[in-house]
Amino acid sequence: MDLEVCQLGLVSYAEALAVQEQLLVMRQQNRIGDLLLLLEHNPVITLGRKAKTEHILMPQEWLQKQQIEVYRTNRGGDVTYHGPGQIVGYMFIDLHHHGRSLRSFVHKLEQVFINLLERYYQINAFRDPDHTGVWVSQGKITAIGLAVKRWVTMHGFAFNVNTNLEHFRWIVPCGIADKEVTSLAVLTGREIDLQGVYQQVLHSFCEVFHYNPVMLTQAQLQSYLRSMSNEKAQT
């Protein structure tokens, strides 16, 4: 099965959320096939459906002064941070092709990063039975938060590669106060070539989910979105 993949670079959260909402509808209508966006965000805090506002530790005035935006979203999970050096994946996948089981889908998504860390970096990663995501002995390295609408996924994962971990002190990451957050750079003791990791993520994702990757240019993605906008304008 083909998976269209578009790498967007550094994108604001507001822009990415608007794109997600459009692509979700297009996938629900079978106007596009399964699709994965890979990107980075400017520093931003997002809250999932179960998030508690007290898990944001910095005052609102401080966040505004630092131009750190806060978004409440419809994904699962609590509060998290996104920023440069962190690979974010947003996926629009019809779960009818994956056993119609969100639990199984999340399990496979965790396996993507367990496999990646073992294969390319000889790092032992694992699941925590009480907390979704991927963990190593030093802490959480990949956060996962999804929403499913009419059997189609949106939102996705956040993999800490060269992420500034100091920024996680602004929040209680995923609402878990007694566990640390880590990154690939910290685990290896060096800054990582992010472009290389993008390819590793894509390879591991397609291997676990049995996809054939089809690269989509940003221009092609914009063409999809324009077709959606044009149709709305005509109705």
* 31 DSSP 8-state letter: S
Q: Is 203 exposed, middle or buried (0-12, 13-18, 19+ CB in 10 A)?
A: middle
Query: What pLDDT shows up at residue 227?
Result: 83
> Count of CB atoms within 10 A of residue 111's CB?
18
In sequence order, which residues have a C-beta less than 8 Å from that of residue 193 and are 6 or more positions away? Answer: none
- Of 5, 16, 174, 216, which residue is the catalytic one? 174
The reported pTM is 0.95
The CATH number of domain 2-228, selected from 1.10.3720.10, 3.30.930.10, 3.40.50.300, 2.60.40.420: 3.30.930.10
Task: Report residue 159 as tokens.
Answer: 């993999």
Residue-wise pLDDT for 91-147, tens only, equals 999 999 898 999 999 999 999 999 999 999 999 999 999 999 999 999 999 999 999
What digits encode the pLDDT tens for the residues 21-69?
A: 999 999 999 999 999 999 999 999 999 988 888 999 999 999 999 999 9
Cβ–Cβ contacts within 10 Å for residue 67, how many? Answer: 9
Sequence ranges of the domains in the chain: 2-228
163-176 residue pLDDT tens: 999 999 999 988 88
Active-site annotation holds for 6: no
| Dist CA 191 CA 91 (whole Å) | 27
Q: Looking at 176-218, which runs of residues are DSSP E strands? A: 212-215
